[in-house]
Amino acid sequence: MLLSLQLFSAKNYTPYTDVITQLGAIGYPAAEGFFDMFNEAAAIRAKLDAAGMTMPTLHVPIDMCENDAEGVAKIAATLGVKTVYAPWLSPEERPTDAAGWEALAERLAKCHAAMASHGLAFGWHNHDFEFFALPDGQIPMEILLRSAPMIEWEADIAWIVRSGTDPIDWISRHGQRITAAHFKDLAPAGENLDEDGWADAGTGTLDWPAIYAALKTSRCAVLVAEHDNPSDFVRFAKAAHATFATL
């Protein structure tokens, strides 16, 4: 499984070109991009090449996948990206019933077709809200996976746990949809409040040896280290890299 790092973790430590150099020095073989660095794509690709790194995966807003597939494809080609994941819906955009989630699944299916026409794989990246039961008892993530059977899934493990859900159960049932996963962690309750309760991967409350063993039975090819709000980016990146070496 390839170790990568989501550049969103370094949003407070830009420019991303410098971040890539730091990751290469730590020993990361790959990084995952997101929309905030699209205007630096050419410079980032040069830094990736210089560091001997790749960028196999990329986060792209769903509306950009829908409305500018050609633009997404150009950015992906510049960066060497093979798979695009739509990563987020703002609170006001999130469906509140099964019909709304079915409609979102239809949008994702169309995004998949648009990306496929440019030779790119496409999937969804979860947060916690996809795991909260709807009024009829259905789980939104189940609706997305069932109603858009062609899309891939980048499983953000710590967000699954933060929703109160067992990630190993989801990996065991839907592992053939998981092509990447986010490698992050949660601090014990009441700790790391300055980092929004997150922890460096492998230093928190998640049982990463067990989770990693489950992921090895899935299609997961890329494990993406992430911390949503690190107070020290290099500390986080080094800790995640060191933990991965023990898995």
CA-wise closest residue to 226 among 191, 201, 193: 201
Mean pLDDT of 162-189: 98
Mean pLDDT of 139-164: 98
Position 188 scores a pLDDT of: 96
Position 203 scores a pLDDT of: 96
How does residue 158 score in pLDDT terms, banded at 50, 70 and 90? very high
Report the C-alpha gap between 155 and 232 in whole angstroms. Answer: 25
pLDDT in tens, 104-117: 999 999 999 999 99
pLDDT in tens, 27-40: 999 999 999 999 99
How does residue 152 score in pLDDT terms, banded at 50, 70 and 90? very high
How does residue 155 score in pLDDT terms, banded at 50, 70 and 90? very high
How does residue 123 score in pLDDT terms, banded at 50, 70 and 90? very high
pLDDT in tens, 218-234: 999 999 999 999 999 99
How does residue 16 score in pLDDT terms, banded at 50, 70 and 90? very high
Position 228 scores a pLDDT of: 96
Of all residues in the chain, the percent with pLDDT exceeding 90 is 100
Residue entry with tokens 């259905």: 138
Position 75 scores a pLDDT of: 98
Q: What is the mean pLDDT of the chain?
A: 98
Mean pLDDT of 197-207: 97
pTM to 2 decimal places: 0.97
Mean pLDDT of 168-186: 98
